[in-house]
Structure 1
Amino acid sequence: MADKKLIVIVGITGNQGASVADAFMDEPGWKIRGISRDPSKASSKVWSDKGVEMVAGDLDNLESIQPAFKGANVIFAATDFWQAIGNPKNHQKAAERGVTINEVAYEIEVQQGKNIVDAAAMTLNTLDRFVLSTLSHAKKWSGGKIQWNLHFDAKWAAVDYLKETYPELLKKTSLLQVALFMTNWQQGGRMAPHKQADGTYLLSVPTKPHAKIPMLNPRVDVGPLTKALVQAEPGKNLLGAASVLSWTEWCEIWGKKHGVTCRYEELPPEKMEEEIPGGVGKELADMFVYFSDPGYDGGDPSVILPKDLGVDVELMSVQEYIEKTDFSSILQESAA
């Protein structure tokens, strides 16, 4: 019997990595290694109990992730800007330096991305495919108009570094630009529709009403998309969109499902900045403005959609997600 191929997953305890692990869990001929900062934690033990090899690896330390990649045939890697935002130590760093928390998170994510690329480049003798979860370069594609969409730009910085530094690794790489999470409404705030005094529901963010936005369910869709990129030839720049629709269309689907009227209104970006101070409001406002012009993928002509891969990919549509998801926390809230 031939040896099984090894896929190494960076971020297996998060939504994207977990989806990739699910996609390869019962795939004949494959074994999975997951990287976690602390493999003894319950979130890691969930995977080791399923037969996944869990190893320690700190994305802030290149030397700690090099051995975790050893022998990999496929590497899937995702970094998490928002995890850095949530770390109190980083807020302290920002205050000491007199910068915003998202500027600190940007620096951390950029370095983590470079560390992952450096470590992946050391596995070329076994590596068949490097799948890097990324987002478009907002500052570049907006012609400098979008300055604060740093969680997009930080992820693309790893792509630029890869292209500039490792031409042989690039030949084995495909990019997965992960679409907007359908699950973001669970974070509350402006991400969800809210009940109004007249009984209708209002969704309001700083994006044009009819701008088309790619969306996916990260816990469900990233795995099938990654598997498709492994099956296809390398060199893809895939926009991982399960659905592409406007916020106006989203409201229509959501309202029809729940028997209510849902309206969408464009929010002035400065309103979001006022509501969420300290840099994160600017971050989110610029992101939503970017969705309108030039668009989620920046208009990058190298981007393809799942239908262009030449591989069948089953994804969860927005319609299916809304039909299967419990929105009772939103439906039962008091009117604003």
Structure 2
Amino acid sequence: MTISSNPTAPLVVVVGSTGKQGGSVIQALAESDKEYRIRGLTRDVSKPQAQRIATQGVEMMNVNLTADNADAARAAFKGANIAFIVTNFWEHLDKAREVAEGKMLVATAKAADVELLVWSGLESAAEVSQGKYGHVDHFDSKAEITTYARKSGVQLLIVQAGAYASNHLHSPQKEADGTYTLGLPVGPNTILPIIDAVHDYGLFVREGIECPKFGAGTEVLASAEDISVAEMLVQLSMITGKKVVYKRISDEEFMAATRAPHHVALELLEMWKYFEEFGYFGDKDTSSSRQHLNRTPHTWADFVREADWSSILV
């Protein structure tokens, strides 16, 4: 079904409409048999991606959703029945900024009296690990926003995104003998809840909105499958015909390989350690979040088959 212009259809405001998650939400709602009006928020409506989305019938609005721009945010959320919000830590690497922007979005949605606020949250690695891993800022910041949202009294649905399949496109390193290695500071049996975010994240948001089992006060864990790093490489090798093997490296080697500032490298190191010891979603079971989807999400193997590896596994 196409996106509706019917004034009686619920209005869904989508933050980050040209990004992976926001764009996926729009596409999933456009595929629904229910009517939705959609307002996509972006910082530049002239971008080709924004213009393409507009051709689908989405009302595109130019707005910069920084913490000090609440007035513009209020105008953007005006009349919304449902709002989807997401923050982007990796754009600025600033935990305090992410928290401030997330809280502003929550407060704006509450002030707009939305019937349902859909938030792309994550677990607190610090809390789940009881303080052992206290530097995973991009998890902890989202958890802080979640706490704020719950206390605000807004009608909240949390849709946590699993590990992006696309994050592993540039990981393997070519060795002198022609094989490829993936070096990480954890064991090969570390489990990841993989999701093809562009193709499938919105599918889980749609489930959360439309399925009576979910809605306000619930949580959806967006993961197509839970798979070990070792099995990911087995499937990658079989599908591409390239030999890709796992190599456990030291913490120091991993941090150096990130080529990132120390605090960012430390965050990534602790993230992987947290995944191995406590799990991406803590001890939460992902299977129930896949039971009411409108189609089957991409597995890791599906992603590998469709991705372009030509410049990676040369």
Give the TM-score, by structure 1 length.
0.84
User: Is the partner of 1:54 in helix, strand or coil?
Assistant: strand
- Structure 2 equivalent of residue 117 of structure 1: 106
Find out whether 1:14 has 2:19 as its counterpart.
yes
- Alignment partner of 1:203 out of 159, 177, 182: 182
Match of 1:45 among 39, 43, 51: 51
Q: Which residue does 2:209 correspond to in 1?
A: 230
Report how far residue 262 of structure 1 moved: 1.8
Quickly say closer, same or farther: Cα 1:307–1:147, change in 2 above 3 A.
Answer: closer
| Structure 2 match to 1:131 | 118
In structure 2, what is the Cα distance between the partners aligned to 1:310 and 1:128?
22
1:294 is displaced (CA, Å) by 0.8
Taking a change above 3 Å as real, the CA distance of residues 250 and 34 of structure 1, as seen in their structure-2 partners, is same
Counterpart position of 2:29: 24
Q: How many residues align?
A: 301
Find the residue that maps to 1:136 and give its secondary structure. Answer: coil
Deviations 1:246-266 (A, max 9, x none): 110000000011223221122
Answer yes or no: is the 8 Å Cα contact 1:75–1:129 preserved in 2: yes
Unpaired runs of at least 5, structure 1 = 85-101
Counterparts of 1:1-336 in structure 2, within 5 Å, are 3-27=8-32, 28-60=34-66, 61-84=69-92, 102=93, 105-124=94-113, 127-164=114-151, 166-167=152-153, 169=154, 172-186=155-169, 188=170, 192-232=171-211, 233-234=214-215, 235-275=217-257, 276-278=259-261, 279-299=263-283, 301=284, 304-307=286-289, 310-332=292-314
* 1:197-252 alpha-carbon deviations (Å, 9 max, x no partner): 22222111223210211010110111111100001232222221012111100000
Larger deviation, residues 31-40 vs 137-146: 31-40
Residues 122/313 of structure 1: CA separation in 2 closer, same or farther (3 Å cut) = farther
How far residue 295 of structure 1 moved from its aligned partner, in angstroms, is 1.1
Which piece of structure 1 moves more, 312-321 or 132-141?
Answer: 312-321
Query: Closer, same or farther in 2 for the Cα pair 1:48/1:312, shift >3 Å?
Result: closer
Q: Write the distance in 1 (CA, Å) between the matches of 2:243 and 2:46.
A: 47
Does structure 1 retain, via aligned residues, the 8 Å contact 2:222–2:289?
Answer: no
CA distance in 1, matches of 2:81, 2:131: 38
Q: Is residue 216–residue 240 contact of structure 1 (8 Å, CA) maintained in 2?
A: yes
CA distance in 2, matches of 1:317, 1:308: 12
Structure 2 stretches lacking a partner, 5+ long: 1-5
Residue 268 of structure 1: how far off its partner (Å): 1.9
Output the CA distance in 1 between the equivalents of 2:129 and 2:248: 20
Letter matched to residue 76 of structure 1: F
- What TM-score do you get using the length of structure 2 for normalisation? 0.90
Matched-pair contact (CA < 8 Å) for 1:62–1:118: no
- Residues 319 and 306 (structure 1 numbering): CA distance in 2 closer, same or farther, change over 3 Å? farther
How many Å apart are 1:309 and its aligned residue? 5.2
State the Cα distance separating 1:325 from its structure 2 match: 1.5
Q: SS at the partner of 1:315?
A: coil
CA shift, 1:331, in A, is 1.8
Secondary structure at 1:134's aligned position in 2? coil
Query: Contact (CA 8 Å) 1:255, 1:262: kept in 2 or not?
Result: yes
CA displacement, residues 92-130 of structure 1 (integer Å, 9 cap, x when unaligned): xxxxxxxxxx4xx11111111101100111122xx3321
The separation in 1 between residues aligned to 2:91 and 2:57, in whole angstroms, is 27
Q: Does the CA contact (< 8 Å) of 1:270 and 1:285 recur in 2?
A: no
Partners in 2 of 1:114 and 1:305 — Cα distance?
Answer: 30
Partner of 1:91: none
